[in-house]
Amino acid sequence: MKTQISKQAETLKKRIDTVSKNSRENIKTVIESNSKQFDSALEANRKTFDSISKMLYEKELDPSIINSIKNSLGKGTKLSEDAIDSIIDSHTRRLDLSIDFTTKFIEILNNEDLSSNEGLNKLVELVRDNFN
């Protein structure tokens, strides 16, 4: 029975490793995608500022509006970066907690006698700690 549990635990560990690798690849894809979007946005903003500069030069626009536009664009970019960072941090933290729990769970399955109260208590304590 313990051998079967060990095999199942190792299979589970391999699956977690695969999910972890895929997660890192997904995060990398999100970062690359967002970097491309930022590059596109910066190019669009450059064109906008070129147009605004032309309007300023031709006196078609009040110069005081420039600071407002720059501030809005800067705040929007910062907000986007913060949102992306939060999503990635949250996903990574959740994955780390899941891997940590599963690793401890596998260790208990491999090292403890689950037919004893002590072994069962360690398992119950791990599950309880996971919900705190």
| Whole-prediction pTM | 0.54
Domain housing 28: 2-131
In this structure, how many other beta carbons lie within 10 angstroms of the beta carbon of residue 17? 11
The owner of tokens 């997660």 is 23
Question: 66: which residues sit within 8 A by CB, 6+ positions away?
Answer: 52, 56
- The Cα 61–Cα 53 span in angstroms is 9
The owner of tokens 């919900």 is 131
- The Cα 111–Cα 113 span in angstroms is 7
**Along the 132 residues of the chain, how does pLDDT read in single tens digits?**
567 766 776 777 777 778 777 877 887 787 788 778 777 877 887 888 788 778 777 877 777 777 777 788 778 778 777 878 887 888 788 888 888 888 888 888 888 888 899 988 998 999 898 887
Number of domains in the chain: 1
Residues 23, 91 contacting (CB under 8 angstroms): yes
Residues 102, 91 contacting (CB under 8 angstroms): no
Residue 1: per-residue pLDDT: 56
